[in-house]
């Protein structure tokens, strides 16, 4: 208990999956958390379960929504200590190789996964630069390896990795005391994991089995595995860690 005691945090896409696990873990360790999501029912369910979590409806693609979220948090708490840019989507169509990806799908995936993180970092820096803080961006192992079946998604998550490093250097050189790191989950047991396996057709159970067989540790990760890594980077335990890419993949990307 208390690893982020009384710190003020925002978790985007916190209504389900990894985002929900992160919000719950931060709250359990003492943080006062604002969960944002486009799904009001999911977001409210998270907030209703924990007294120290509030919910705000938020589309990370819209700059005005970011301004409203930041204004709400700063008016209530006077500062922001932790920003977790977690909101993301996998696909908008049933196929996503380089030949089949439409411009609409490319733009839709990148609008959430890379532009949403850009806006989050920009507004987060403005909110934190006088007091310092930690920004954690959720990327993916898709940023670290070829993703022929996830063309737009892989490109968007690679953008997050590069953006993270640049934000880290910028904030360090400006003396803002804002750390910025990325977390790169591999095969994780979530609804998005099921969506990955369903892309392009085929037997989903067989795809899961094949993907797990490629993991040196021999099992898929859980949302709690990811949340634990995010908690470390958000906490003062990581005070000298910035620009890092923390991989949570059971060894899949070991070369």
DSSP H helix total and E strand total for the chain: 9, 7
Which of the residues in the chain have pLDDT under 70?
1, 193, 200-201
Distance CA 152, CA 157 (A): 9
| Contacts for 107 with CB less than 8 Å, ≥ 6 apart | none
Write out the catalytic residue numbers.
Answer: 153
pLDDT of 210 reads 84
pLDDT of 200 reads 65
pLDDT of 201 reads 66
pTM of the model: 0.95
Nearest residue to 134 (alpha-carbon basis) of 226, 25, 238: 238
Burial class (CB in 10 A: 0-12, 13-18, 19+), 28: middle
- Domains recognised in the chain with CATH numbers: 8-248 (3.40.50.720)
């Amino acid at each position: 208990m208390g690893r982020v005691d009384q710190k003020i945090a925002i978790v985007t896409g916190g209504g389900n999956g990894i985002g929900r696990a992160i919000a719950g873990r931060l709250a359990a360790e003492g943080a006062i958390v604002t969960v944002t999501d486009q799904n009001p029912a999911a977001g409210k369910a998270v907030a209703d379960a924990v007294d120290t979590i509030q919910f705000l409806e938020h589309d990370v693609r819209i700059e005005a929504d970011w301004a409203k979220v930041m204004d709400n948090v700063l008016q209530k708490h006077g500062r922001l200590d932790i920003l977790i840019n977690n909101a993301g989507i996998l696909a908008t169509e049933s196929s996503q190789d380089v030949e089949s990806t439409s411009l609409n799908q490319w733009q839709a995936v990148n609008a959430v996964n890379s532009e949403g993180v850009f806006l989050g970092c920009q507004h987060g820096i403005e909110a934190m630069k006088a007091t310092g803080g930690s920004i954690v961006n959720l990327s993916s192992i898709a940023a670290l390896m070829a993703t022929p079946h996830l063309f737009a998604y892989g490109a968007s998550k690679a953008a997050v990795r590069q953006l993270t490093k640049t934000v880290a250097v910028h904030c360090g050189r400006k003396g803002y005391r804002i750390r910025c790191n990325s977390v790169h989950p591999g095969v994780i047991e979530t609804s998005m994991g099921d969506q990955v396996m369903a892309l392009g057709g085929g037997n989903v159970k067989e795809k899961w089995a094949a993907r797990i067989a490629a993991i040196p540790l021999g099992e898929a990760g859980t949302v709690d595995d990811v949340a634990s890594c995010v908690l470390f980077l958000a906490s003062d335990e990581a005070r000298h860690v910035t620009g890092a890419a923390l991989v949570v993949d059971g060894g899949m990307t070991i070369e």
